[in-house]
């Protein structure tokens, strides 16, 4: 059912029951759906049975089943029933209006969904089907056009052919009710429907959301129904994270399909996992400029760190000290560098890099590049070498003075020759003096 708004036609009613009609939302096999509102301004989707079918007892019965099913279902994944009149000349009922496009229209206009989005929608629909089945109802026509994507989550609509669990799908001999490509094999054969029937349709719907096509291709109704019963679904293009679960939903034998509860739990896990690694799952898109990527990272930092990072992310600015440059000019993994003078994470927790060791002078230790070790500051190393040489000379001179003063007491001789010899032996190589004042 196409839920795009259209102007009312001349033959359309302006008032139904206590509701004023404003627009057409679409037309289905049973009737027309209007956008209406009550005296308080509450918007509703009001469905009126077609005039030529109003006198058909079979269609009146189906319409009554839709209303009965909507009344029994308690859950946030279906449109809540507001009012109904099954005895009117043209029976009607009104449900809460659900803003948003259908899943079919969204995929047709914007292309296949990402794995995380598909899994999240599937998890919500599975949870909604749990409530539907607990009410003893099987939808029997779950498909992308019967799923509306509202701001509060997906909603299942159009229970026009819903039936009690265990009922047959045949209205006439050899005629299956539903949409080819999304019907379960047991519906095509005319066998009893069960909650597993909706699981099959949900699997086909998730495949459509991931690929933009039915898993059984295109063709006439007869060809499509034959494929559903005898051929395996084509799942090329379904993300690897979803493909095994979708294939299980599309099992020919209802007993081999997961339950709606199992499906809901599994899809929630997949949605959470795929959302964390969304950048790896999504198809490659245009590379964002460095300034854009930097602004995204700023959202996770403190105001001081944001100002520091913005200065460092300016064009022509070298990367922060203490972080290794990554390939392709992108920032290294591990987040935004800390501000100068702040202590790094002592255990490296929460980042992808080890904390940089710090010297006694308070500066970062030598950093590594992709090929070799190089000093972070050659001037600092020269200063340290000078200090080391001076300290060594002072120690050597101190030892020489000590030995020179204690020489006569130890009986080493009074000519001073052994004192000078001792000084030369104690001095560092290259001193060349060995004299003590």
The one-character DSSP state at 327 is G
User: Residues 126, 82: one domain?
Assistant: no
The last residue of one of the domains, among 237, 259, 278, is 278
- Tokens in use for 281? 């799952």
**Alpha-carbon gap, residue 164 to 138, rounded angstroms:** 6
75: Cα within 13 Å, side-chain hemisphere: 24
Flag whether 106 is marked binding: no
**Chain CA centroid to CA 169, Å:** 37
Indicate the pairing of strand 43-49 with strand 92-96: antiparallel
Is 388 within a domain?
no
The last residue of one of the domains, among 67, 97, 127, is 97
User: Residues 241, 219: one domain?
Assistant: yes
- Tokens in use for 250? 């599309």
What pLDDT does 216 receive?
A: 95
User: Residues 165, 137: one domain?
Assistant: yes
User: Residues 107, 238: one domain?
Assistant: yes
User: Residues 103, 93: one domain?
Assistant: no
Is 257 within a domain?
yes
What is residue 370's three-state secondary structure? Answer: coil
CATH number at residue 13: 3.30.200.20
Q: Are 310 and 294 in contact (CB under 8 A)?
A: yes
What pLDDT does 13 receive?
A: 92
User: Residues 168, 82: one domain?
Assistant: no
Tell me the catalytic residues.
Answer: 141
Helix, strand, coil tally for the chain in percent (to 5)? 40, 15, 45
From first to last of the 437 residues of the chain, give the pLDDT tens digit.
445 678 999 989 999 999 999 999 888 777 899 999 999 999 999 989 888 888 888 878 877 877 887 788 877 688 888 999 988 999 998 988 999 999 999 999 999 999 999 999 999 999 999 988 988 888 888 999 999 999 999 999 887 555 444 443 433 333 344 578 899 999 999 999 999 999 999 999 999 999 999 999 989 999 999 999 999 999 999 999 999 999 999 999 999 999 999 999 999 999 999 998 754 444 433 334 333 433 333 334 444 544 444 444 444 444 444 444 444 444 433 343 434 444 444 444 344 444 444 444 444 444 444 444 444 577 777 888 888 888 898 888 888 888 876 655 444 444 444 444 443 444 444 444 444 43
Burial of 96 (0-12, 13-18, 19+ CB in 10 A): middle
Is 334 within a domain?
no
User: Residues 143, 268: one domain?
Assistant: yes
Q: What is the DSSP string of 37-55?
A: E-TT--EEEEEEE-TTTTT
- Start-to-end CA distance of the chain, whole Å, equals 108
Q: How many domains does the chain have?
A: 2
User: Residues 14, 41: one domain?
Assistant: yes
CA-closest candidate to residue 155, choices 101, 209, 207? 101
What pLDDT does 87 receive?
A: 86
CATH number at residue 171: 1.10.510.10
- Helices and strands in the chain, H and E counts: 13, 15
Q: Are 327 and 369 in contact (CB under 8 A)?
A: no
Question: What are the helix (H) ranges across 150-194?
Answer: 185-189
Is 274 within a domain?
yes
What pLDDT does 301 receive?
A: 43
User: Residues 92, 103: one domain?
Assistant: no
Query: Which domain does 32 fall in, by range?
Result: 1-97
Is 417 within a domain?
no
Is 236 within a domain?
yes
**Alpha-carbon gap, residue 197 to 250, rounded angstroms:** 10
What pLDDT does 52 receive?
A: 84
User: Residues 110, 86: one domain?
Assistant: no
Is 190 within a domain?
yes
User: Residues 85, 143: one domain?
Assistant: no
User: Residues 87, 110: one domain?
Assistant: no
The last residue of one of the domains, among 71, 97, 123, is 97
Is 74 within a domain?
yes
CA-closest candidate to residue 395, choices 362, 428, 431, 437? 428
């Amino acid at each position: 059912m196409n839920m795009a708004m259209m102007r009312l036609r001349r033959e359309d009613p302006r008032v139904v029951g206590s509701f004023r009609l404003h627009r057409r939302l679409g037309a289905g096999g049973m009737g027309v759906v209007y956008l209406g509102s009550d005296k308080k301004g509450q918007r509703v989707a009001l469905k009126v049975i077609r005039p030529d079918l109003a006198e058909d007892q079979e269609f009146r019965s189906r319409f009554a089943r839709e209303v009965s099913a909507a009344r029994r279902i308690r859950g946030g994944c279906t449109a809540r029933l507001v009012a109904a009149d099954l005895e009117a000349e043209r029976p009607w009922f009104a449900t809460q209006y659900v803003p948003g496009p259908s899943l079919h229209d969204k995929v047709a206009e914007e292309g296949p969904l990402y794995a995380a989005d598909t899994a999240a929608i599937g998890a919500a629909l599975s949870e909604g089907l749990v409530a539907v089945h607990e009410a003893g109802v099987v939808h029997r026509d779950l498909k992308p056009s019967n799923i509306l994507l509202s701001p509060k989550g997906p909603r299942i609509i159009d229970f026009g052919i819903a039936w009690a669990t265990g009922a047959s799908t045949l209205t006439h001999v050899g005629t299956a009710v539903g949409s080819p490509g999304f019907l379960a094999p047991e519906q095509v054969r005319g066998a009893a429907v069960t909650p597993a029937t909706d699981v099959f349709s949900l699997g086909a719907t998730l495949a459509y959301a991931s690929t933009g096509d039915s898993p059984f291709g295109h063709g006439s109704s007869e060809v499509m129904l034959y494929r559903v019963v005898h051929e395996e679904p084509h799942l090329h293009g379904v993300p690897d994270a979803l493909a095994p679960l979708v294939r299980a939903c599309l099992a020919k034998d209802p007993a081999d399909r997961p339950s709606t509860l199992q499906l809901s739990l599994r899809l929630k896990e997949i949605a959470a996992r795929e959302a964390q690694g969304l950048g790896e799952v999504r198809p490659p898109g245009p590379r964002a400029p460095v300034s854009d990527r930097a602004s995204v990272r700023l959202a996770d930092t403190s105001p001081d760190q944001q100002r520091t990072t913005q200065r460092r992310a300016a064009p022509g600015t070298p990367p922060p000290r203490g972080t290794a440059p990554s390939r392709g000019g992108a920032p290294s993994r591990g987040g935004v560098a800390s501000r100068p003078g702040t202590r790094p994470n002592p255990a490296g927790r929460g980042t992808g890099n080890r904390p940089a060791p710090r010297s006694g002078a308070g500066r970062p230790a030598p950093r590594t590049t992709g090929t070799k070790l190089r000093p972070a500051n050659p001037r600092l190393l020269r200063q340290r070498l000078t200090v080391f040489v001076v300290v060594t000379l002072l120690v050597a001179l101190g030892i020489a003075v000590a030995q020179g003063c204690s020489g006569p007491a130890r009986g080493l001789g009074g000519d001073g020759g052994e004192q000078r010899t001792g000084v030369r032996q104690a001095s560092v190589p290259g001193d060349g003096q060995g004299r003590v004042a």
